Each structure stands twice: as C-alpha cells, then as structure tokens.
Amino acid sequence: MTEPFVIRGADVAADVYRELSVQLEAFTARGVRPGLAVILVGDDPASKAYVASKDRKCRELGFYSLKLELPASTQLPELLAEIEKLNRDPAIHGILVQMPLPRHLDEQTVIRAIDPRKDVDGLHPMNLGKLVMEDPTGFAPCTPSGCQRMLQFAGVATAGARVVVIGRSLLVGKSIALLLVSRGTHADATVTIAHSRTRELPALCREADILIAAIGKPNFVTADFVRDGAVVIDVGINRVPDPARPGHSKLIGDVAYEEVAPRCKAITPVPGGVGVMTIAMLMANTAKACGMTLAAL
C-alpha cells in the first residue's frame, strides 16, 4: 500500500470559508451580517473552550457573534426565556445551545424551544424530519455535514459505495447515515449502522469502502476492522493520559491511527480532522440561515 491521503480538517475548512467569503460580500452589499448566538450554561472547561473557538471564528469571518454565558444553576424557564428572546431577535440568524447541559435541564425541551429556522445545529425535530425527507431548506447537523464535505474534498466516490458507520447517536451516526444514503451528489451510498449490539463487528467493517467511526471509545477501531484501500473517517475525540508527558493528557480518536493508516486509501487524523469541520459547517449553516431570511423578505 502507498501512503494514505490524510484528509486534514484545516484544508477542507479553508474551502468552506472561501465559499462563505463570497456569500458575505453579497450580504454586506445588503447591509446584513450573519448573526450567531451561542448559549453556554455552566463552566465545563471543554465546553467553554469550544464556545470560545466558535466566537473567535465568527469574528474572524465578519459574522455578528453573541455569546451568552449562564450559571450552572440556571433553571429551565430562565433558559427558555433567553432562547425566546433570540428567536425574536432579527440580528440573530443562528442559535446554538452548547451541550451537554447541566443534568437538571432537559436537552430535548431546550432543542425544541429553538426556532427551527435558526437551529443551525440541526437537531430540532423539524430539521431532522427535513433531513429524512431530503428537504434542502433544513439544516443538517454540523459534524455529519463536515464528514460528507471531507469525503467530497478527498474525491471519494460515494455513489454505490458500501459505508459502515460505527455508532448510532442522533448527533452523528444516524445523521451521517441519512446524508450519505440520500439521493444526490456526494451521497447515493449503501449504509449500514453498527453499534454495541452488532454481531461480528470487525468482519462487517471489513466490508466497507468507507468506514466512519463515531463510537466514543479511544483506539477502538484497529487494523482488523479495515480492508485494504478503505477510506476511514474518525469522528472520535477522546482525552486520555499522555504517557510521554506524565500528568498531562492528549486527544486521540476512535481509530488506532498508526496501525490503521497503512491499510487506508484516505484517513482523517485526530486532532486536526473532523473536529475542525464541525465549526466550519456551523458557520456555513449560519450563513445559510441568513440567506434564507433575506430571501423571505
């Protein structure tokens, strides 16, 4: 096998941002900036860092960014009231509530409170329904959209391809399956969703032309899961102790990269892979929401 093509998130995201710059010129000519509001409840360090990176990217692109930080003690009526304010704010085109929320707050109630036209995370039941119906006016979840865009960037043919997705979460597994099985460019695949109850999982995965790992278990996918010439997309982001630096941690994926990569035609790294694309597609969804608002005027 030759060296695999490494699909780096920064390279793919750069393409997305180039496209967004053209859209932004058109918005600016009409005196409008895409506006994204992100709500953070509590002080989880990982969530705070992620929200900060979204805010920073908004400002780099010239979006209007509103970051609302609420204490962990915030009660559901208070949070819903803040969401309703943003639903009515014409300067805000996209609303994202950072997950996970404190345990006393019901995530599904919060997601349903967001105006579907501003649900740029793509998790409102109306947007998920549009994804099932292949309705382009909806918003697909950002991480699955990023995976699809990475396959496109790498020139991976998906039409007729056998795809195995490990993981059945709504946020990634089910949504990427729906995207890739849909009709159209960079789709038309035959998709199998595997999970913790799947029998003979390595053998099933070896049948895949494209293997997508989104199970949340570090180094779960080893070489015996991957056939020669497969494309592997690693969605996992796991923080584990770093043996090279006692007392420190490092990020690794769901795929044992060093042993799997030699078998692959293309593969995504962790870090520097799918995670970068999640923010890029969030920006793309926000710009799409802005454009749809202008089109309705």
DSSP 91-146: T--EEEEPSSPPTTS-HHHHHHHS-GGGBTT--SHHHHHHHHHT-TTS---HHHHH
φ and ψ of 233, to 5 deg = -110, 115
Residues 57, 98, 148, 209: which is the catalytic one?
Answer: 98
Is 108 considered catalytic here?
A: no
What angle, 0 to 180 degrees and rounded to 10, lies between the N-to-C axes of helices 274-296 and 9-29? 20
Catalytic residue among 54, 57, 174, 288: 54
Q: Which candidate in 57, 119, 121, 254 is catalytic?
A: 121
Q: Annotated catalytic, 106? A: no
* Nearest Cα residue to 217 out of 170, 273, 256: 256
| Amino acid identity, position 1 | M
Can you read off the two tokens belonging to residue 65?
């960014």
Is 54 marked active-site? yes
Write out the two tokens for 190.
């035959």
Query: What residues act catalytically?
Result: 54, 98, 121
